[in-house]
């Protein structure tokens, strides 16, 4: 649902204006990692470790996020003028100070929702989880449609309330996107009140100290991951010529949205798999089950990758600008899309692999791996962006996630071995990469040839996996 906004925003805002969007959301993502403080994973781990103290675990993880949110609010209060002044110098938009205030409250609302959402997942209530998340997206999308399409339509046709709307409505103001997000976040938090009212707010210093020891490496790992995911957009603004940097950030941000389907798949897998991994860890066949999950995660992502790249000539119309010039500018960034899709495949594999250090309470390795990835990201961005522009950012993302994936596999097999089917998994990844390259570069995004290759890959996958799928489905039926 959120993805349908992509063509709307591309049509409404030129790349330079959309650069503000990408820049601010990149900073927000980095701050989100701090506010959550690794408490989501910590919550699941301590529900397993202290099964008889579930309410105490719930209350204290929530209190920690409440404290970090208050700390952010205090920090902004003290340094608001300096931060707002810096942002004002980066973009010629007089409303950046207002955007900053809106983003702070978005961040706080989202942070306070993390642990209530984790409780819903832990209790096995996917319907409630999905309903609240869909309400969030529906609110965000609906308000954007209201501000960007409906209100201008009413004013233009002198519809109901047109005079009143014309007095305050600002055409082309990107602030409406941010206000829509804030409203959606607040509504989400209100919908979580039943979970929040279950809190038994009793501080347990010893438990908090123990949880912080577990969560701090996860915080650093999560922050490093967010750096890997978002630093490129920030550095593009800093390292490219001032006259083109805002436009390039906008192009990169918009085209990267075409990889959103793979990103959504990775996120959905993490939401479902993480609590399952923790709950299943004590079973004798846990390693074998984790291996099978990896097999079909890689197969699903490989198939999705080939299908997305094969149809990129259709997907590109989601980034169609409002003018011919804007359209050509956005579409000039299409070569980054297959690269980013493959990067998200590597990220999904890494997220699956990373369960080993969470299950074995060796979360420090998460710091080492993601810290290594952050160093790779920072060094390569500074070296390559000034020379190659935003295309370098895509390759750096792929390199970073690929190196993290390999490093996590090597360390995991030493400290918490899981019998992954390495040759099989590499074969699927390599085939997906080669077919995607052929579809995009060799056959120049031809829809017919690309989809023929896609169908052949699907057929090959079915023939290779039909026996194993029959066994798995038979076990499930019994």
> What does the domain layout of the chain look like in residue ranges?
1-203, 222-478
Q: What is the pLDDT of residues 383-417, one digit of tens each?
A: 998 888 889 999 999 999 999 999 999 999 998 89
**Per-residue confidence band for 478, with pLDDT thresholds at 50, 70 and 90:** very low
Helices (H) and strands (E) in the chain, counts: 22, 0
Q: What is the pLDDT of residues 3-21, one digit of tens each?
A: 667 777 777 777 767 677 7
| Residue 417 burial class via C-beta count within 10 angstroms: exposed 0-12, middle 13-18, buried 19 and up | exposed
- Is the pLDDT at 252 greater than 80? The verdict is yes
**Per-residue confidence band for 320, with pLDDT thresholds at 50, 70 and 90:** low
Token pair 């409440």 is found at 66
- Is the pLDDT at 355 greater than 70? The verdict is yes
Q: What is the pLDDT of residues 321-347, one digit of tens each?
A: 667 677 778 888 899 999 999 999 998
Task: Give the span between the Cα atoms of 446 and 475, in whole angstroms.
Answer: 41
**In this structure, how many other beta carbons lie within 10 angstroms of the beta carbon of residue 193?**
10
**Per-residue confidence band for 427, with pLDDT thresholds at 50, 70 and 90:** very high
Whether the CB-CB separation of 11 and 322 falls below 8 Å is answered with yes
Residue 460 pLDDT? 94
| Long-range contacts of residues 225-228, Cβ cutoff 8 Å, at least 24 apart | 225/33, 225/370, 225/373, 226/29, 226/30, 226/32, 226/33, 227/30, 227/374, 227/377, 227/378, 228/370, 228/373, 228/374, 228/377, 228/397, 228/400, 228/401, 228/404
Residue 2 pLDDT? 59
Task: Give the span between the Cα atoms of 234 and 218, in whole angstroms.
Answer: 23
**Per-residue confidence band for 104, with pLDDT thresholds at 50, 70 and 90:** confident
Whether the CB-CB separation of 358 and 41 falls below 8 Å is answered with yes
Take residue 325 and report the two structure tokens written for it. 């010039």
Q: What is the pLDDT of residues 112-146, one digit of tens each?
A: 998 899 899 888 888 999 999 999 999 999 999 99
Q: What is the pLDDT of residues 40-70, one digit of tens each?
A: 878 888 887 777 788 888 888 888 888 888 8
Work out the average pLDDT over 196-219: 82
- Is the pLDDT at 472 greater than 80? The verdict is no
Residue 92 pLDDT? 66
Q: What is the pLDDT of residues 446-470, one digit of tens each?
A: 999 999 999 999 999 999 988 877 7
Task: Give the span between the Cα atoms of 419 and 439, in whole angstroms.
Answer: 33
Whether the CB-CB separation of 314 and 446 falls below 8 Å is answered with no
Helix, strand, coil percentages (3-state) for the chain, rounded to 5, are 85, 0, 15
**Per-residue confidence band for 29, with pLDDT thresholds at 50, 70 and 90:** confident
Task: Give the span between the Cα atoms of 269 and 264, in whole angstroms.
Answer: 8
Residue-averaged pLDDT of the chain: 85
Give the global pTM.
Answer: 0.70
Residue 410 pLDDT? 94
Whether the CB-CB separation of 188 and 109 falls below 8 Å is answered with yes
Share of the chain above pLDDT 70, in %: 94
């Amino acid at each position: 649902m959120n993805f349908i906004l992509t063509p709307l925003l591309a049509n409404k805002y030129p790349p330079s204006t959309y650069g503000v969007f990408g820049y601010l959301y990149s900073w927000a993502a980095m701050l989100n990692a701090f506010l959550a403080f690794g408490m989501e994973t910590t919550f699941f781990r301590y529900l397993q470790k202290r099964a008889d103290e579930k309410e105490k675990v719930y209350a204290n993880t929530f209190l920690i996020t409440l404290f970090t949110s208050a700390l952010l609010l205090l920090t902004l209060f003290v340094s608001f003028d300096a931060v707002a002044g810096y942002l004002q110098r980066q973009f010629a938009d007089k409303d950046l100070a207002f955007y900053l205030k809106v983003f702070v409250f978005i961040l706080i609302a989202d942070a306070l929702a993390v642990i209530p959402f984790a409780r819903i997942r832990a209790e096995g209530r996917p319907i409630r989880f999905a309903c609240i998340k869909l309400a969030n997206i529906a609110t965000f999308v609906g308000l954007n449609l209201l501000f960007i399409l409906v209100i201008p339509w009413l004013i233009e046709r002198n519809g109901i309330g047109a005079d009143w709307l014309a007095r305050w409505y600002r055409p082309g103001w990107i602030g409406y996107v941010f206000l829509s997000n804030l409203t959606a976040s607040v509504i989400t938090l209100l919908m979580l009140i039943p979970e929040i009212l279950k809190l038994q707010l009793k501080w347990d210093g010893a438990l908090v100290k123990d949880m912080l020891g577990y969560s701090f490496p996860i915080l650093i790992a999560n922050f490093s991951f967010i750096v890997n995911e978002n630093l490129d957009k920030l550095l593009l603004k800093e390292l490219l010529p001032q006259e083109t940097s805002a436009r390039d950030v906008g192009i990169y941000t918009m085209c990267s949205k075409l990889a959103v389907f793979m990103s959504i798949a990775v996120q959905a897998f993490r939401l479902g798999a993480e609590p399952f991994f923790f709950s299943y860890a004590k079973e004798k066949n846990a390693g074998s089950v984790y291996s099978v999950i990896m097999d079909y995660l890689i197969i699903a992502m490989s198939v999705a990758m080939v299908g997305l790249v094969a149809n990129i000539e259709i997907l590109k119309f989601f980034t169609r600008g409002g003018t011919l010039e804007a359209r050509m500018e956005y579409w000039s960034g299409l070569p980054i899309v297959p690269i980013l899709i493959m990067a998200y495949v590597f990220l999904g594999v890494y997220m699956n692999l990373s369960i080993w250090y969470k299950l074995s309470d060796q979360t420090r390795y998460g710091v080492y791996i993601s810290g290594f990835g952050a160093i790779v990201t920072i060094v390569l961005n500074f070296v390559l962006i000034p020379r190659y522009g935003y295309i370098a950012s895509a390759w750096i993302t792929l390199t970073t996630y690929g190196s993290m994936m390999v490093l996590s596999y090597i360390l995991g097999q030493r400290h918490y071995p899981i019998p992954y089917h390495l040759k099989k998994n590499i074969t699927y990844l390599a085939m997906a990469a080669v077919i995607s390259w052929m579809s995009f570069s060799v056959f120049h995004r031809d829809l017919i040839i690309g989809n023929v290759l896609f169908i052949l890959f699907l057929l090959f996958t079915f023939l290779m996996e039909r026996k194993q799928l029959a066994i798995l489905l038979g076990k499930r039926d019994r």
